[in-house]
Amino acid sequence: MSASDPAVAGLPHDLIERARNVRLAVFDVDGVMTDGRLYLTDSGEEMKAFHSRDGHGMKMLKATGVEVAIITGRTSRVVDARARNLGVAHLFQGVEDKLVVWQALLGNLGLAPEQTSYMGDDVVDLPVMIRCGLAITVPDAARHVLGRAHHVTRAAAGAGAVRECCEIIMAAQGTLEGHAAGWFA
């Protein structure tokens, strides 16, 4: 894939190179897959809103052979349901130390840190973000996270940011246009 390809036009060369190596894309939930707000009912049940295009982006990325994982500090039945709906086999909830879980996942999959992307928004995500091959965040992320990310999405958390991340990886790997072409037939 060349830099003149429309799918990667305007993306920095370093970002394209980092995304080209990704074999595992890891996502945080609150503040990445959602807008970060927590909705609690009177009975204490937690609700979250997810964007359908983000979910479809994750499905498309998986279809290209890139593994997808979710690592989140909170535990929620709705996240379990969302992961099942998307076919995400690697779901880790209630995680206090995301680095430990990420390193174990890499070991289980036989991957090197530079073969992973991580999308997070807060300081608890930094230990993984500074070690992975491609660190992506959202525009309203914590200041320290914004300073360490390789890319800040144009789309907001819970409103297409995950899809943007997936499309960057697919574009860099030359799979985006071919995958999307099937929808235009």
Q: How much is the pLDDT for 66?
A: 96
Instruction: Work out the number of other CB atoms within 10 angstroms of the CB of residue 81.
Output: 12
**pLDDT tens column, 119-160:** 999 999 999 999 999 999 999 999 999 999 999 999 999 999
State how beta strands 39-40 and 46-47 pair: antiparallel
Integer Cα distance of 102 and 59 in angstroms: 21
Tell me the sheet residues that pair with 136: 119, 151
pLDDT at 184 over 80: no
Please, are residues 112 and 130 in contact by the beta-carbon 8 Å criterion?
no
- Percent of the chain whose pLDDT exceeds 90: 81
Torsion of CA 45, 50, 52, 57, to 10 degrees: -130
Buried b / exposed e over 127-145, threshold 16 CB at 10 Å, is: bbbebbbbbbbbeebbeeb
pLDDT at 176 over 60: yes
- The radius of gyration computed from the CA coordinates of the chain, to the nearest angstrom, equals 16
Q: What is the CATH number of domain 13-176?
A: 3.40.50.1000
Q: How much is the pLDDT for 4?
A: 47
**pLDDT tens column, 64-79:** 999 999 999 999 999 9
Q: How much is the pLDDT for 2?
A: 46
The domain spans of the chain are 13-176
Minimum mean pLDDT range among 4-8, 75-79, 94-98: 4-8
pTM recorded for the entire structure: 0.91
Q: For all residues of the chain together, what is the average pLDDT?
A: 91
Integer Cα distance of 117 and 38 in angstroms: 25
pLDDT at 1 over 50: no
pLDDT at 6 over 70: no
User: Which of 96, 97, 117, 95 lies closest to 106, judged by CA?
Assistant: 117
Strands (E), 49-185: 67-71, 90-92, 116-119, 134-137, 151-152
